Amino acid sequence: MSDTPTAPVILGDQPGTFPHGVLAERHPAIIRQVREAFPYGPAQHRALDALLAECTGGAVEPLPAGAHDRERWAAWGTDSYAGRSWYDVPWLWSESWFYRRLLDAVGYFGPGPWQGIDPFRPSKLAELGSPATDEELAALDDLAGRPADERARALLHGSLWGNRADLGFRLSAEGAERTAAVPALVADDSERLWTLLGASGTGTLCLVADNAGRELVPDLLLVAHLLAHGRIGRAVLHVKPYPYYVSDATTADVVDAVRRLTGAQGAAAGYGRGLWDALSDGRLTLRAHPFSCAPLPYAEMPDDLRADFAAATLTVVKGDLNYRRLVGDRYWPPTTPFAGVTDYFPGPVAALRTLKSDVVTGLTAATEAALDAAEGRRWRTAGTHALIQVRT
């Protein structure tokens, strides 16, 4: 990022701002939702009470001595942030910390009977089984007769707009699903993306997934199409090693999504079989790297992950949180060049994202002015606008 001037890191300390609202309102709502999702016992309820008090009014505390990842979190920031209010540390950090602590409270890391039980699984499964998902899968039959390029473009847009399906966002954005999306993208480098995914058929696509369910399904459809039509030879799907940001995809969610496809009617089942075969023969592999749940920007990624991305023909980074981590969670002027803030990334990278936080780069001054004139600041966080940005 050498030539790019820096910008202030986003904190959650200003009442009335979006980040403050996430800490003060969204996190308590998530705790309420989790309490209702399972018949947890008194120990879990007590731990959730304590977490609620701590995350809304207390200070960051180091993980207990026996925690399996105490050292990792110490290196990621608990050593520096212990004793400080959750509102006064980088917002990116306090949000990740919340999910790590929530999983502790419900016994996810065990030992004990709740070990490995995803507190968000009921809402993820409800969405995957919903009539809306049925409709999206049925629409694949209409696409079946179209030329491969047209299908590829439709599937790319399906994957992009699938990012609206974010259960954490919907929890605090009333009516988010019903608010119409604005189809014109605020930035669109998709032609560059298609140039990178040429017709050689040997390249590797890294796809850094975001939400499960109605985002992961179109992500997988896109991967299946690119493999089947020789646009890539391999794909690596990066998922989360543990439940995160309510609906972020884990390995279990990938399995659920592939099974949903194989069990469907029509064209969807063919995509499902293609994915199953690709997983079986190694053309599609899964990674659940610990850094995928790190409270840090990708500029600080470890060497093994850097090597993964460096080996890819293209890395596609999905969603709002990954965008914040890719460009840095800062109040960038929206006209800050995307290429500048991503120049540390070890290979070509594309961001596919609907806008759900204040962070944005790579807009023209005219686009920014038009959005501000029409909507004030709302376009940044409402999830109604989207972008495709590519740095080659």
Ligand X SMILES: O=P(O)(O)OC[C@@]1(O)O[C@H](CO)[C@@H](O)[C@@H]1O
- Binding stretches for ligand X (CB under 6 A): 22, 95, 163, 166, 168-169, 210-211, 245, 319-321, 324, 356-357
Q: What distance separates the 2 farthest-apart alpha carbons in the chain?
A: 60
Report in angstroms how near the CB of residue 245 gets to ligand X at its nearest: 6
Task: Please identify, using beta-carbon distances, which residue of 273 and 289 lies nearer to ligand X.
Answer: 289
Report in angstroms how near the CB of residue 56 gets to ligand X at its nearest: 15
Task: Please identify, using beta-carbon distances, which residue of 152 and 382 lies nearer to ligand X.
Answer: 382
Report in angstroms how near the CB of residue 383 gets to ligand X at its nearest: 7
Exposure of 293 by Cβ count < 10 A (0-12 exposed, 13-18 middle, 19+ buried)? buried
Q: Are strands 204-208 and 284-287 parallel, antiparallel or unpaired?
A: unpaired
Closest residue (Cβ) to ligand X? 356
Answer for the pair 68, 39: CB distance below 8 angstroms, yes or no.
no
Report in angstroms how near the CB of residue 31 gets to ligand X at its nearest: 14
Task: Please identify, using beta-carbon distances, which residue of 245 and 379 lies nearer to ligand X.
Answer: 245
Task: Please identify, using beta-carbon distances, which residue of 211 and 250 lies nearer to ligand X.
Answer: 211
Give the type of residue at 298: Y
Task: Please identify, using beta-carbon distances, which residue of 161 and 194 lies nearer to ligand X.
Answer: 161
Task: Please identify, using beta-carbon distances, which residue of 163 and 342 lies nearer to ligand X.
Answer: 163
Task: Please identify, using beta-carbon distances, which residue of 40 and 332 lies nearer to ligand X.
Answer: 332
Task: Please identify, using beta-carbon distances, which residue of 107 and 328 lies nearer to ligand X.
Answer: 328
Task: Please identify, using beta-carbon distances, which residue of 136 and 358 lies nearer to ligand X.
Answer: 358
What CA–CA distances, in Å, run from 295 to 82, 199, 292, 374, 390?
Answer: 15, 37, 9, 34, 24
Report in angstroms how near the CB of residue 230 gets to ligand X at its nearest: 30
Phi then psi for 86, rounded to 5 degrees?
Answer: -60, -25
Residue 278 token pair: 């690709």
Report in angstroms how near the CB of residue 220 gets to ligand X at its nearest: 16
Report in angstroms how near the CB of residue 161 gets to ligand X at its nearest: 11
Report in angstroms how near the CB of residue 67 gets to ligand X at its nearest: 24
Report in angstroms how near the CB of residue 19 gets to ligand X at its nearest: 8
